[in-house]
Every structure is written in C-alpha cells, then in structure tokens.
C-alpha cells in the first residue's frame, strides 16, 4: 500500500530525513516512533504530498507522490499534529466543507458526516463552534475530518496527544475498527501507544531508520535483560541497607543493584539482570530465606527513553568507537 524507497528530505541547511526505506502492507497499523525532531512529521508530510521529497521514490496506493499527487490525495486521510480546524465554523459545517473538499458528492455528504460523527463520538457537539470545543473534542473532530472520505490510507500525526485516558482508549478502539480496510500509519513518542494499537513499528531517530519490526519482536529483543523493583521492610535499622544490597548482588544472574530509597523502614532497590536471565523468583527466595519481609517485587517495563538509549544511544557510541559494528547493527535492524 505504501512503498518508500530511499526517501531523503533536506531543508535549507538541515537534513530532516536521511535515506529511509520501508513498506506497509494493506490493512496494517504501523506505529512511527521517534523522539521530537526525528523526522516523523516530515516523512508523513511527504507521504501526504504536502512536501515533495528531495530524493527517493514514494508510492502511496499505487501512485507516485510527485507524478500523481491528486490521485494520492484522494486516497489519503491526514490528521496533522495540530488538527487543521477553522474555529469560526460549526462542527457539521466544517465536516461538510472538508467532505466536499475531498470530493464527496452532494448526495452522500450528509450521510457521511453523520457516520463519522457517530464513529468519533462528536454527535453531541455537532452545532457548536469549533473554537469553543475542548482539546479532546478538537482532536476527535480532526480525526473525523481525516476519515470522512473513507480513504485507503490514514496518516495520523500523534492522534492521542492532549486526550484523557478514557478518550485515548476510545481512539485506540476506533483505530482498531478502522484497520483491515484502511492502512494506518500513526506517529507517537509514547511506547504503550504503539504496543496497544500497532502491529509493526518503525523507529526513527535523527532522520534515520533505527529499527523496523513487529511489536512483539521488538519488545522481546529489548527486554532481553530484566529490570526489577524490589522493596524490603526494615524495622529498627535491621536489616541494614548494605547487608541487603550485598545479598541481592549474590543472586545468580544479577548484574547490578541500585539502592533507590530508604524511608519509613522501607528499603527500595532496583535490580537489573544479565542478558536473557529471569531473576525474580531467585530474588524473592533470597530475601525470604534471609528472614526479611518482602514488601514488593515488580518488573519494570522499559520506557521509550530506555529503548532509545538502547537503540539510538548505542548506535551513537558505536559511531564514535568503531564503524564496522554499527553497520552490522543496521543490517540486523533491517532484517
């Protein structure tokens, strides 16, 4: 459905996107993950024909973005980072305007407007001025605008930013219901977002492709080493922190123990395992066998920050130290 080959986009002085290639199959939901300024928005803008690529070939729904922009635009729904809304319009009026702009015939327009208002749950504000809507409603009107012409490809730039948790769940459900006959690319910098709604992830950093893989593979690979939060109860200064720390360090498979906090008779630690080792059971046993009371033992999820440190950070280090290894890593990413 979407085929990007060697896409490069250069602004006057900066290289925003550097030789990115990827493909997206029909009906997939793909997450576009990256820190701010990584080139997510630029890539999306090229896909939507808002910006022309500096070099490279971009094919959407069978049409080239440079040769057949009108055909591509007909088949694309786009929600930019800030929803493109006219504050002086009412919701119905706005959606009707966009619908006509996207080429929906006059006969179908009312039906389509009602349908997307139902899907995005904005029927209760249909006659309100967009300027008076809350951020959550605006975001949903923006989404309604993107799907009004039932496009083959949906491109959403941070669709859940500014929404409350309940609305985020609703949007996720909506996206899932849209997948299948729509191909969806959504950008985000929140990992859980991708885990919940996407099948595949494309990670970019500083304009370059860092990883492209299925969500399951990626999280498995990244969670090769385990990180555990552990809390031990201490009464009257017993056990003392160094004693606990030493005991934890002796557990097989532990690579590092960090003392986090000790107050109100609670000692909390963060324990990291060696690559591929499961240490939670051994940790618990070790604490209990020593006669201490274990208050908490919890696996820590990897945050996006940690993933970037692993994926992008290590790459940067390699860049400085040895070139060949970095290339090997990159090849590994592409496979």
Partner 1 sequence: MKNVLLICRKELKSYFASPIAYLLMAFFALIFGFGFYTAARDFVRFSFQASMMGQSQPMSVNEQIIRPLVGFASTVALFLVPMITMRLFAEEKRTGTIELLLTSPIDDIEIILGKWLGAMLLYLCVLGMSALNFAMLFLWGTPDLKPVLVAYLGLILQGGVLLAVGEFISTTTRNQIIAGGVTFFVCLLLWLLSWFTAFDSGATASVVSYLSIVTHFENFGKGVLDLKDVVFYLSMIFFALFITGRSMESLRWRS
Q: Which is nearer to partner 1, 6 or 11 (CB)?
A: 11
How far is the C-alpha of 133 from the C-alpha of 116, rounded, in Å?
A: 17
Closest CA to 146 of 75, 70, 53: 75
Residue with tokens 């808002």: 50
- Report yes or no: 64 and 57 within 8 Å, Cβ to Cβ: yes
Give the nearest distance from C-beta 174 to partner 1 in angstroms. 20
- Residue 225, helix vs strand vs coil: coil
Sites of contact with partner 1 (CB under 8 A): 11-12, 45, 48-52, 70-71, 73-74, 76, 78, 80-89, 93, 97-98, 100-103, 145
Q: Which is nearer to partner 1, 72 or 191 (CB)?
A: 72
Closest CA to 315 of 195, 219, 214, 204: 204
Q: Give the C-alpha distances (Å, rounded to integers) separating 52 from 30, 46, 63, 226, 245.
A: 22, 6, 14, 44, 57
Closest CA to 159 of 297, 278, 63, 40: 40
Q: Which is nearer to partner 1, 39 or 83 (CB)?
A: 83
Q: Which is nearer to partner 1, 23 or 88 (CB)?
A: 88
Q: Which is nearer to partner 1, 6 or 103 (CB)?
A: 103
Give the nearest distance from C-beta 222 to partner 1 in angstroms. 34
Q: Which is nearer to partner 1, 52 or 62 (CB)?
A: 52
- Give the pairing type, strands 208-214 and 76-79: unpaired
Give the nearest distance from C-beta 169 to partner 1 in angstroms. 26
Give the nearest distance from C-beta 84 to partner 1 in angstroms. 4
Give the strands of the sheet with 266-273, arranged side by side: 254-263, 266-273, 227-233, 293-299
How far is the C-alpha of 124 from the C-alpha of 163, rounded, in Å?
A: 17
Give the nearest distance from C-beta 82 to partner 1 in angstroms. 5
Residue with tokens 């992008």: 312
Looking at 11-65, which runs of residues are DSSP E strands?
Answer: 15-24, 29-33, 55-60, 63-64
Give the nearest distance from C-beta 86 to partner 1 in angstroms. 6
Q: Which is nearer to partner 1, 97 or 270 (CB)?
A: 97
Give the nearest distance from C-beta 268 to partner 1 in angstroms. 45
- Report yes or no: 140 and 172 within 8 Å, Cβ to Cβ: no
Give the nearest distance from C-beta 88 to partner 1 in angstroms. 4
Q: Which is nearer to partner 1, 90 or 272 (CB)?
A: 90
- Residue 133, helix vs strand vs coil: coil
Q: Give the C-alpha distances (Å, rounded to integers) separating 279 from 6, 62, 306.
A: 43, 50, 20
């Amino acid at each position: 459905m979407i085929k990007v080959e060697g896409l490069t986009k250069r602004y006057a002085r900066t290289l925003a996107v550097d030789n990115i290639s990827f493909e997206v199959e029909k009906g997939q939901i793909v997450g576009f993950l990256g820190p701010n300024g990584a080139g997510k928005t630029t890539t999306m803008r090229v896909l939507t024909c808002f910006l022309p690529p500096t070099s490279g070939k971009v094919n959407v729904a069978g049409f080239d973005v440079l040769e057949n922009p009108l055909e591509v635009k007909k088949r694309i729904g786009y929600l930019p980072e800030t929803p493109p809304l006219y504050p002086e319009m009412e919701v119905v009026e706005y959606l009707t305007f966009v619908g006509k702009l996207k080429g929906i015939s006059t006969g179908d327009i009312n039906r389509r407007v009602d349908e997307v208002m139902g899907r995005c749950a904005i029927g209760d504000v249909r006659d309100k001025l967009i300027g008076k809507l809350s951020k959550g409603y605006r975001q949903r009107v923006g989404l309604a605008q993107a799907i009004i012409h039932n496009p083959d490809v949906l491109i959403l730039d941070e669709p859940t930013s500014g929404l409350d948790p309940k609305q985020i769940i609703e949007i996720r459900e909506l996206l899932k219901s849209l997948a299948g006959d729509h191909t969806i690319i959504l950008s985000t910098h929140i990992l859980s977002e991708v885990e919940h709604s996407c099948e595949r992830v494309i990670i970019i950093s500083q304009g370059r492709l860092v990883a492209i893989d299925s969500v399951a593979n990626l999280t498995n690979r990244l969670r090769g080493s385990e990180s555990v939060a552990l809390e031990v109860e201490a009464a009257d200064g017993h056990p003392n922190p160094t004693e606990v720390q030493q005991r934890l360090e002796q557990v097989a498979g532990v690579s590092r123990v960090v003392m986090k906090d000790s107050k109100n008779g609670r000692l909390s630690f963060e324990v990291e395992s060696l690559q591929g080792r499961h240490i939670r059971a051994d940790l618990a046993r070790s604490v209990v066998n020593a006669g201490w009371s274990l208050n908490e033992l919890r696996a820590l999820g990897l945050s996006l920050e940690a993933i970037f440190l692993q994926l992008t950070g290590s790459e940067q280090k390699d860049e400085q130290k040895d070139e060949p290894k970095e290339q090997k890593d990159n090849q590994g990413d592409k496979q």
